[in-house]
Structure 1
Amino acid sequence: MGAQRRTSTAGREDGARELWASMFRGNWLLFSANVVLYLAQAIITLAFAYILKQTFDAVAAGSLDLLAQTGQAVALLMAAELATELAMRASLPAFLRRAVSGYRRAVFDRLLGKGIGAFDGGGASRYESALTNDVTTIETTYLEKIFTMVTEVVSLAGSVAMLLAQSVPLAVVAIVSALVPLVIGLASGGRLAARQRVVSDATGRFVGTVHDLACGFPLIKSFSAEDAARERFEAANGTLEADKRLRRRTELGIRALAMTAQGISQLSVMFFGAWLALSGRGMTVGGILMATQLMNSIAQPIQDLPSIFAARRASLGLVGKLAQMLGENRERMGGVTLPATLTKGISLSNVTFDYDENLPVLSGLSAEFAAGGCYAVVGASGSGKSTLLSLLMGAHSNYGGQIAFDGCELRDASLESLWATVSLVRQDTFLFDATLRENVTMFTHVDAAELESAVRRAGLASFVAAHGMDYPCGEGGSNLSGGERQRVCIARSLLHGSGVLLLDEATSALDQETADQVTRSVVALEGTTRIMVTHRLDAGQLRLFDGIVVLRDGRVCEQGTFDELMATPNGYFRALYTVGE
């Protein structure tokens, strides 16, 4: 167990490092260019401080030649500063664009590698938040400050070196006063990282709540549940803002300590330099002014570096959290390739499965689905109908018993070939805010004859004749009726070349006439194995199926045609049908 935990931890750390590296992969040229530019900026700032000393020393010495040389140096430095600023204006945004887009691309690629059952329990809002709010936090609090850190580290080191050249005791005072805020920043970084993780989690929950309320808006209005909806929103909003308040307080606390240390450093150097000058220890008025000016280059890093170091730890925490999420429920690789079209069929033998070990969903389920057949799966709510289809889609491999496609155990099958063979049409159909063609083809180029065949077999031909394939479906298919959305999903599966079509309550939200039409479209499909979960116990529809599988308490209690099941005295299906009439 301990070895497994260490392996899991190492995997998460490797995943976090890989995600972090994605921001810099292929971006090193721009990164290096920005480092050089910000380094030049630091050198220019130090040079201005030295010129300030030379200017006042020239005045004190009454040297016009030295003053003229100083003026020429100022002109050159101003030109160099302008050129540096213009170059930074182009290079920094280019680096940030590549870094953020590379990170998002790496995250999305890993997201696509998760198993098909990754979101069975929800949680999509966590990834939405990670790809939006968390990325913005990483970009603004750390990525934008990386090169500022370069400037400030060089400025700090250069300022101390110039003070050492001017006066060793003065430099020692500056160094000692500068160490305090750095230690504060390093010590407080872990606390800020923890606060940032809490805010990230709260943001994910808030996004999920808003998404639920927006999707359920018609239901909220129809049930006059505005007050309850407002309470849910206020609870999520209040929690998020309370967590953000604590994070801000932590940030401001670190900053306050840094600013206090900054004031102490400036005063220490100024008064100590004055004491050196008054005591005749080789300090000039120009030297005092240079030291005061250099303390700006020391004070700013003292103020900023602790926050930047803390922000880096916080950003690493966000990346680590996302890496852990992405490492869960990964898609298994390799396996036996399934045939595109089944010749024998699907068999389930003594299948058991549970989401919670104390609450089994399937208990010893056995069933046979012949290749090319059309079957209905019925049963009371909670009998395991949707879970059965989820297992057939390969969403979970931790089931007991055997599930075989043409004799090949599902656990041994390649998931890529499984998903090429099997398609699932759910009750809650998902359509992109795109054209009808793009929704059916999934944004790929396909043969026109194959597309026309899929549209015709799905029962969409008349709609396409009236509106065309470039008809906009709207967000979530809002421009289509329920039946039309279902047919689009069926056409999508047919075009995909699925040899097995699973339908999970695909007609439950449709009126009787539309449900009949969709069911007949499914039954009419030839060469495809069809398994349709339905709660509609309509004799006209159920007589169309080759067989009906009846589930009760996670197992098959009856199986046969509609007439066979109705002819069984005291049968469970007959009781269900009678109650549903």
Structure 2
Amino acid sequence: MTLKYASKWKLLVFAVFAAAKALQAVFIAYVFQEFINFAGNPKGSLLQLTIKAVVGIVLFACLALIYQIIQANIIKDVNLKIKEQATKYLLYSDNSDPKFDLSFMTNDLKQVESHRVEAELDIIFNGLQFIAAFAAAMLSSWALSLIFLVASLAPGLLQNVFGPKIEAASSAWEGENSKYTEAMTDTINFSAFARLYDAEYSIYSRMLHYSQRMETALAKMKKAEMVTTEVITSFAYVCSMIIPFSLGIYFVTQGQITLGTFMMISQLANNFINPIVGIFSSVNDIKTSNPIWEKFTAVADFTAKESAADRDEFKELSLDDASVQRGDRKLLNNLDLTVKNGEKVLLEAPSGWGKTTLLNVLVGRIKLADGHYEINGEDANGDWSKDHEYFSFVQQKPYILDDTIEYNISLGREVSREDLLAVCQKAGLTSLIEEKGLDYQVGKEGKNLSGGQGQRLEIARALLAKRPVLLADEATSALDPRLSKQIHQTILQNFPGTVIEVAHKISNEEIAMFDRVVNLAEK
């Protein structure tokens, strides 16, 4: 239930105004009865009756407006809570869960909003509306009210027939929608290459294929919903109107109730039928979002763990007979490696050897299948929460946010301007900052920076973190020789701690800057 993420007092206020809004149907039925009775026996003032009706309707309109505002506020609160929890899981869990992709954070959560949060609030309102209408009808004629009630409950029998079909169609659509979003992302990212190789039509056809599959699945889901709603609605009208109307007219002709009472109960009976149909429709909406909601509930109780406040002084790390299993393939080849504090070590290996996997082992993101990994003589195998505190990272394509230089370096944490300018100087960003300023917007993926500036920005970020070990993953392979040399000079001369770089091709002049070179392919 999504409403557990809503404020309890807001839900209470919502229920109060929902109940007030639900009484509108009772008021209109009462006014309807008064007008009919006046027509049959014109006593009193028609003008006063009309004024009373208009004032009541205006009052209920005001209450309904407040109800809508509260409902919108609750929906906003719930959506924010769900997004907060999903984002927290993405950032703190270090779990590359494929369920939480771009499609989930955008399209799927919007489905939760429109098909679950709103539906649960509508169920509350429709339930209150039904109770108010039924109670008012019972006071007028309990026998006819019970007839309308029993008849209005009959459509619920059909819900069990159509419900599983809706869930199956919804699950199929959710899968196709996720594939469509991935294909759209691929198409956007690959558009320039498609034009380069004259492959526009092929990529266009691929995108259209996924679009058609997604739209077909969506149409099937909507068809299942519409068929269910229409069948249940039609059945509801037959059971809840035609049959009770026939019996009601019989009671009038037998003198058991007046025509005004019958018309009032008939009017109220719409609020037996409509709320119940509305509840069934809301239940269908909830069912369509079940596959998405199940994704979220898997991590709904996730709690972020605080990083270790202190870490031991780094002395050395070691791998002994280390291997990682990827399906039938074995990576790292029973690697033995020791790196001591302060060393500048270059690890060479060809593409596909598993260099990036090795770095992920070092930071604790990947656990060894065989062998041992220790930091300072203590087991560190797969211990992300502890291991990552020792490392900063510079990679081939820096992660750059569409924000300012300052934010990209500090990542929003509070740092002194003195420390910030100091790391910028060491990273070689002084001239850029003097020209553009720390509040310069770098653009999406750092498009307003050169490749070298982007690398230097990530180096400044690593220096500011003051971690004892800097890992570099093919950090200069995309740069020209001059920039590659400059970046290596910055890393190896300005970083005071340990440097471990993995690369498969750098110049001899750059290799000479390292204390030690390890050829991983020969191990």
For the criterion TM > 0.5, the same-fold answer is yes
- In the TM superposition, what whole-angstrom CA distance separates every residue of 1:392-433 from its partner, at most 9, and x where no partner exists? 1111234321112222221385x4453332012222211011
Residue of structure 1 equivalent to 2:418: 449
Distance 1:169 1:497 in 2: 80
Residue of structure 2 equivalent to 1:351: 322
Could you tell me how far 1:128 is from its partner in structure 2?
2.3
Residue of structure 2 equivalent to 1:309: 283
- Is 2:149 aligned against 1:175? yes
Contact 2:403 2:442 in 1 (8 A): yes
Distance 2:344 2:284 in 1: 61
Contact 2:316 2:339 in 1 (8 A): yes
Distance 1:347 1:149 in 2: 60
Matched letter for residue 252 of structure 1? M
Choose which of 484, 509, 512 in structure 1 pairs with 2:453.
484
Write the mapping of 1:202-351 to structure 2, written as runs, cut at 5 A: 202-264=176-238, 265-278=240-253, 280-324=254-298, 338-339=311-312, 341-342=313-314, 344-351=315-322
Contact 1:196 1:318 in 2 (8 A): no
Distance 2:511 2:174 in 1: 49
Could you tell me how far 1:222 is from its partner in structure 2?
1.5
- Is 2:498 aligned against 1:529? yes
Distance 2:4 2:485 in 1: 51
Aligned CA distance change for structure 1 residues 163 and 472 (closer, same or farther; 3 Å) = closer
Distance 1:49 1:525 in 2: 82
Could you tell me how far 1:305 is from its partner in structure 2?
1.4
Matched letter for residue 130 of structure 1? F
Distance 2:79 2:305 in 1: 28
Residue of structure 2 equivalent to 1:576: none
- Is 2:14 aligned against 1:34? yes
Distance 1:73 1:185 in 2: 41
Choose which of 418, 425, 428 in structure 1 pairs with 2:387.
418
Q: What SS does the corresponding residue of 2:431 show, helix, strand or coil?
A: helix
Contact 1:190 1:314 in 2 (8 A): no
Write the mapping of 1:366-445 to structure 2, written as runs, cut at 5 A: 366-411=336-381, 415-445=384-414
Residue of structure 2 equivalent to 1:544: 513
Contact 2:323 2:370 in 1 (8 A): yes
Choose which of 20, 30, 38 in structure 2 pairs with 1:58.
38
Aligned CA distance change for structure 1 residues 337 and 404 (closer, same or farther; 3 Å) = farther
Contact 1:435 1:470 in 2 (8 A): yes
Distance 2:441 2:309 in 1: 40
Aligned CA distance change for structure 1 residues 334 and 138 (closer, same or farther; 3 Å) = closer
Distance 1:147 1:406 in 2: 56
Stretch of structure 1 that moved more, 152-161 or 519-528:
152-161
Could you tell me how far 1:263 is from its partner in structure 2?
2.4
Residue of structure 2 equivalent to 1:114: 93
Stretch of structure 1 that moved more, 188-197 or 38-47:
188-197
Q: What SS does the corresponding residue of 2:413 show, helix, strand or coil?
A: coil
Contact 1:336 1:412 in 2 (8 A): no
Matched letter for residue 352 of structure 1? S
Could you tell me how far 1:349 is from its partner in structure 2?
0.7
Taking only aligned residues, the RMSD between alpha carbons, in angstroms, comes to 2.7
Aligned CA distance change for structure 1 residues 393 and 180 (closer, same or farther; 3 Å) = same
Aligned CA distance change for structure 1 residues 80 and 186 (closer, same or farther; 3 Å) = farther
- Is 2:134 aligned against 1:154? no
- Is 2:492 aligned against 1:512? no
Stretch of structure 1 that moved more, 312-321 or 362-371:
312-321
Residue of structure 1 equivalent to 2:465: 496
Matched letter for residue 331 of structure 2? V
Matched letter for residue 389 of structure 2? A
Distance 2:132 2:226 in 1: 28
Could you tell me how far 1:437 is from its partner in structure 2?
1.4
Matched letter for residue 420 of structure 1? E
- In the TM superposition, what whole-angstrom CA distance separates every residue of 1:56-96 from its partner, at most 9, and x where no partner exists? 1233234226x677556525522431331232243222222
Residue of structure 2 equivalent to 1:565: none
Could you tell me how far 1:466 is from its partner in structure 2?
3.3
- In the TM superposition, what whole-angstrom CA distance separates every residue of 1:8-28 from its partner, at most 9, and x where no partner exists? xxxxxxxxx7xx46522xx11
Choose which of 60, 79, 83 in structure 2 pairs with 1:81.
60
Residue of structure 1 equivalent to 2:74: 95
Contact 1:262 1:302 in 2 (8 A): no
Distance 1:21 1:504 in 2: 45
Distance 2:310 2:218 in 1: 50
Matched letter for residue 226 of structure 1? E
Distance 1:21 1:152 in 2: 16
Could you tell me how far 1:391 is from its partner in structure 2?
0.6
Contact 1:516 1:541 in 2 (8 A): yes
For structure 1, the 5+ residue unaligned runs are: 1-16, 559-581
Distance 1:200 1:325 in 2: 18
Aligned CA distance change for structure 1 residues 466 and 320 (closer, same or farther; 3 Å) = same
Could you tell me how far 1:137 is from its partner in structure 2?
1.5
Aligned CA distance change for structure 1 residues 412 and 99 (closer, same or farther; 3 Å) = closer
Distance 2:212 2:54 in 1: 55
* TM-score relative to the length of structure 1: 0.83
Distance 1:150 1:331 in 2: 33
Could you tell me how far 1:282 is from its partner in structure 2?
1.6
Aligned CA distance change for structure 1 residues 202 and 322 (closer, same or farther; 3 Å) = farther
Distance 1:467 1:70 in 2: 73
- Is 2:5 aligned against 1:23? yes
Q: What SS does the corresponding residue of 1:350 show, helix, strand or coil?
A: strand
Q: What SS does the corresponding residue of 2:393 show, helix, strand or coil?
A: strand
Matched letter for residue 185 of structure 2? H
Q: What SS does the corresponding residue of 2:392 show, helix, strand or coil?
A: strand
Q: What SS does the corresponding residue of 1:238 show, helix, strand or coil?
A: helix
Could you tell me how far 1:475 is from its partner in structure 2?
0.5
Aligned CA distance change for structure 1 residues 151 and 447 (closer, same or farther; 3 Å) = closer
Residue of structure 2 equivalent to 1:198: 172
For structure 2, the 5+ residue unaligned runs are: none
* TM-score relative to the length of structure 2: 0.92
Contact 2:152 2:272 in 1 (8 A): yes
Could you tell me how far 1:381 is from its partner in structure 2?
1.9
Instruction: Give the aligned length.
Output: 522
Write the mapping of 1:453-468 to structure 2, written as runs, cut at 5 A: 453-468=422-437
Distance 2:356 2:116 in 1: 45
Distance 1:63 1:165 in 2: 23
